[in-house]
Structure 1
């Protein structure tokens, strides 16, 4: 069975999607439509922008979404048996399995980006990657700190990203090293994604999601919040709203997809980050890009 996976923020690069735009008339049409919906030419930034311009949350999220989704929608014979996306990538997954249409998916992603940007300004905060510790050790260290610090991204065995207040992350990095972490690296991000500090963004996005039409998907989506397959529209909505303040259970999602019959993981979007993670989680499966 084929599992299609979609990357999140951080996979962007200058020039992303340009070849697709120039070589595929349907792709060009969708990119041009996206410029109209957003009210600015995001394609200019995607194709020619600097790394700094691409790094702004309000640009990064729609840019990665557009590259991922348009690549999937214009690929001949695209027929997923199951889908999943890492954080932002969950929205790309939901367009690819027809739960959301292209326009609504893009509008939600842009609203999500703006809401997250605002939440970051309210609560200055950050994230850090912890390498070489068991998940349980990381969770225990986080809960021992008298600041907001939580496990945010379960990326693969031995790689967990934590999220929290600036002070909390600083203390946590020291404690993780003391506990035997190979590395504890603060990440160049604008805020504590997938933590309670994203609550203002979750509230704002909830009403947008509630007011968007969701359709019955053509295949299950394995959602970040619980790593379980879902084809139920109400459940998908509820999990999507919870996603901003809850951890991304990527390791568990991939394990569950393999247990449910996935033999090939195909990444749609910029970069190859997810292929690397899948290989570490399930070395026996095939991985490739579209």
Structure 2
């Protein structure tokens, strides 16, 4: 069975999507529609901006979404998923790809999500850190022992977990994790504590937008970050998407469940190859590839 997977924030690069814009009339039309919806020329930033321009949350999230979704659309009949999943932001791309959300609605939600997360980041100084080489249970235990807000945020693959919270608590957790034997506990260059309770203001803002958006029955199941199991009910998908901002991304568990349900081939749709690497660490026998449009 074919699983299609969609990357999240951090996969962006200058020039992403330019080949699609130049060679596909459909892609060009969708990119221009996106410029109109967003109210600024995101294509100029994607194709000719600087790395710093592209790192702005209000730009990064819609840029990755657009690259992933437009690529899935120009693939046409080649795009035949038996199941889909997305890492954090990538979940929105996956929901457009499997027909749950319309392109315009998905982009609008992603833009609102990015702006709401940016605002939440400005309320309390916060950050994230990557922890390598420890069992998940040890990381979870140490986080609960630290005062302040620090929680597991991304279960990326065995031995790789990202934590999230206020700056003091994350720094204290990093020291405790290194003392417990972590190979690395490294603070990441991110704007805030994504997938933690500190994103509650953003979750409330995004919840209202999601509630007012039409969700259709998908063409295939999505393995969402929160339940990690196959979901095909539009109302349930909507509920899980609202919870996602303050809950951890359980990528390891999602991939394990996709494999258990028959996935043998994982195709990453969008910029980069990060998810392919994670899939191989979770399930060595899986076949992985990047979606390519000629």
Q: Same fold (TM over 0.5)?
A: yes
C-alpha distance in structure 1 between counterparts of 2:239 and 2:169, whole Å:
29
What SS is found at the alignment partner of 1:277? Answer: helix
**TM-score (structure 1 length as normaliser):** 0.99
Aligned to 1:137: 138
Aligned to 1:26: 26
Shift of 1:38: 0.4
What SS is found at the alignment partner of 1:71? Answer: helix
Calculate the aligned-residue CA RMSD, in Å.
Answer: 0.5
C-alpha distance in structure 2 between counterparts of 1:28 and 1:172, whole Å:
46
Structure 2, unpaired ranges of 5+: none
C-alpha distance in structure 1 between counterparts of 2:92 and 2:242, whole Å:
11
What CA deviation, in whole Å up to 9, does each residue of 1:182-219 have, x standing for no partner?
A: 00110000000000000000000000000000000000
Deviant stretches of 4+, over 2 Å = none
Equivalences, count: 290
C-alpha distance in structure 2 between counterparts of 1:98 and 1:76, whole Å:
13
* Correspondences of 1:187-226 after superposition (within 5 Å): 187-226=188-227
Shift of 1:76: 3.1
Aligned to 1:17: 17
Aligned to 1:285: 286
What CA deviation, in whole Å up to 9, does each residue of 1:41-88 have, x standing for no partner?
A: 000000011111100100000000000000011103211100000000
Query: Does residue 105 of structure 2 align to residue 101 of structure 1?
Result: no
* Correspondences of 1:176-195 after superposition (within 5 Å): 176-195=177-196
Aligned to 2:42: 42
C-alpha distance in structure 1 between counterparts of 2:41 and 2:99, whole Å:
25
Structure 1, unpaired ranges of 5+: none
* Correspondences of 1:244-263 after superposition (within 5 Å): 244-263=245-264
C-alpha distance in structure 1 between counterparts of 2:32 and 2:42, whole Å:
9
What SS is found at the alignment partner of 2:62? Answer: helix
Aligned to 2:57: 57
Shift of 1:123: 1.4
Query: Does residue 73 of structure 2 align to residue 73 of structure 1?
Result: yes
C-alpha distance in structure 2 between counterparts of 1:25 and 1:282, whole Å:
38
Aligned to 1:269: 270
Shift of 1:12: 0.2
Aligned to 1:147: 148
C-alpha distance in structure 2 between counterparts of 1:141 and 1:255, whole Å:
25
C-alpha distance in structure 2 between counterparts of 1:79 and 1:210, whole Å:
29
Shift of 1:139: 0.2
C-alpha distance in structure 1 between counterparts of 2:179 and 2:243, whole Å:
32
C-alpha distance in structure 2 between counterparts of 1:113 and 1:123, whole Å:
17
C-alpha distance in structure 1 between counterparts of 2:64 and 2:226, whole Å:
21
C-alpha distance in structure 1 between counterparts of 2:223 and 2:264, whole Å:
15
Aligned to 2:87: 86
C-alpha distance in structure 1 between counterparts of 2:230 and 2:41, whole Å:
35
Shift of 1:264: 0.3
